[in-house]
Amino acid sequence: MATNRQMMVMAGDGIGPEVMTATLKVVDWLAKHRSISFDISEGLVGGAAYDKSGSPLTDETLADAMAADAVLFGAVGGPEYDDLPFELKPERALLGLRKEMDLFANLRPALVFPPLVSASSLKPEIVSGLNIVIVRELTGGIYFAEPRGRDTDANGMVRAFDTNMYTPPEIERIGRVAFDLARKRDGAVMSVEKANVMHSGVLWREVMTALHAAEGEGVSLSHMYADNCAMQLVRNPRQFDVIVTDNLFGDLLSDCAAMLTGSLGMLPSASLGAIDETTGKRHALYEPVHGSAPDIAGQGLANPLAQVLSLAMLLRYSFDQGDDAELLERAVEKALDGELRTGDIMADGCTQTGTDGMIGAVLDSLDALAR
């Protein structure tokens, strides 16, 4: 049956295909029990695409992703691709999708589920109840700005360089996303840069301050240097609500925030483009933060929950189905209340399981919640 929901699935490499296969069982559950169905297309990406076609992202796959309402992405990369030239590395596919689809706003929620409080490397009293979102600028800064590359200076010395450049419109649009999100939460935005040493940081702070004066109603704005933010995240993470920062700092700080929640295996993310004024639609890609985890790939051990939570974000942000998103989130939490745990979140008194066991617990929880 044709639906008006076009979802493109890109499982990618490493544990990507395993956690995706598991998550598609949740998609089937939604079709069966909530009458939510998708037109699903699949595409190879990363190393898997390179193996087949010699490119980590073909034009065809990119065109399909642009045409879909939403992309559900697994993970890319693996040691077998380490020696490939820069432009052919699996990660280029992800960066290419972000850039070509103009997915400038990356939302990375870090939420501590009560049953996982003890899985965090920090003390329970520091992390319990933690609920923050990092809003990472995703299409600019040092990941993309020119000049970047490698050359030889006048003395014959090889040098390599990347540029952290931002313009006011790039800063404003990510600032707006952070303000809008904060309005639906506790209303506190922390803007993070290194204005003490970087020109791009000075501009970032100026533009955020001006944007707040003009459009920041209902939101408080504070500023913090990125190094201090890294420290504060492990010292007292609950002081934050929404953190907005550039591409590189967002990459670093979101891994740190992820670990506060107990495991990188729990964290979803949404990468969103601008809303098209005529169609009301936006490009969007949803992916777990964990990456391809080659060390455990192919063994059925991976935690599929970040991929399931990424599906929940897809329902919320691309299809405005907040209720169904919440149902999935509650099912994940209920599953964690049970005794089955994958290795990354294993705890005393629990039974270790793999990808299938964990997704089975989610499906059982969905059945129970839907009853």
Q: Quick check: 74 and 287 in contact, CB under 8 A?
A: yes
Question: Alpha-carbon distance 303 to 258, whole Å?
Answer: 14
Strand spans (E) along 83-168: 105-111, 131-137, 149-152, 158-161
Q: Which is nearer to ligand IPM, 15 or 219 (CB)?
A: 15
Exposed (0-12), middle (13-18) or buried (19+): which is 125, by Cβ within 10 Å?
A: exposed
Instruction: Provide, rounded to whole angstroms, the least separation between the CB of residue 96 and ligand IPM.
Output: 11
C-alpha–C-alpha distance, residues 244 and 192, integer Å: 6
Which residue number places its CB atom closest to ligand IPM? 91
The CA-CA-CA angle for residues 91, 94, 96, to 5°, reads: 105
Residues binding Mg ion (CB under 5 A): 251
Q: Contact, 117 vs 336, CB < 8 A?
A: no
Query: What's the rounded Cα separation, in Å, for the pair 105 and 272?
Result: 5
Per DSSP, 250 falls in state H
- Report the nearest approach of ligand IPM to the CB of residue 94 (Å): 5
Do the beta carbons of residue 200 and residue 193 sit within 8 Å?
Answer: yes
Residues 257, 109 contacting (CB under 8 angstroms): no
Positions that interact with ligand IPM (CB under 6 A): 91, 94-95, 251
* Contacted entry of ligand IPM, Mg ion, none for residue 91, CB cut-off 5 to 8 Å set by kind: ligand IPM
Of Mg ion, ligand IPM, none, which one does residue 193 interact with (CB within 5 to 8 Å by kind)? Answer: none
Q: What is the DSSP letter of 149?
A: E
Please choose which of ligand IPM, Mg ion, none residue 145 contacts, taking the beta carbon within 5 to 8 angstroms, the exact cut-off set by kind.
none
The smaller minimum CB distance to Mg ion, of residues 246 and 251, is found at: 251
Give the shortest CB-340-to-ligand IPM separation in angstroms. Answer: 28
Q: Which is nearer to ligand IPM, 69 or 251 (CB)?
A: 251
> Which residue, 95 or 210, has its beta carbon nearer to ligand IPM?
95
Could you give the CA distance from residue 182 to residue 218 in angstroms, rounded to a whole number?
Answer: 9
Please identify, using beta-carbon distances, which residue of 115 and 140 lies nearer to ligand IPM: 140
Long-range contacts of 158-165 (CB under 8 A, 24+ apart): 164/198, 164/200, 164/246, 164/248, 165/140, 165/141, 165/200
The residue whose Cβ lies closest to Mg ion is: 251
User: How far is residue 345's CA from residue 120's CA, in Å, rounded to a whole number?
Assistant: 9
Q: Which does 309 bind (CB under 5 to 8 A by kind): Mg ion, ligand IPM, none?
A: none
SS3 label, residue 152: strand
Count the alpha carbons within 13 Å of 78 in the hemisphere toward its beta carbon. Answer: 22
How far lies 116's CA from each of 111, 208, 254, 284, 369, in Å?
A: 10, 35, 18, 29, 20
Of 31 and 142, the one with the shorter C-beta distance to ligand IPM is: 142
What is the nearest approach in angstroms of Mg ion to the Cβ of residue 255? 6
Closest distance of CB 38 from ligand IPM, Å? 24
CB 177 within 8 A of CB 242: no
Pick 14 or 304: Cβ nearer ligand IPM: 14
Q: Please identify which residue in the block is written with the tokens 């890609």.
A: 285
Q: Which residues are catalytic?
A: 143, 194, 227, 251, 255
Minimum CB separation of residue 350 from Mg ion in Å reads 28
Least distance in angstroms from the C-beta of 54 to Mg ion: 26
Q: Decide which of ligand IPM, Mg ion, none touches 312; Cβ closer than 5 to 8 Å per partner kind.
A: none
> Sign of the CA dihedral 60, 62, 63, 68?
positive
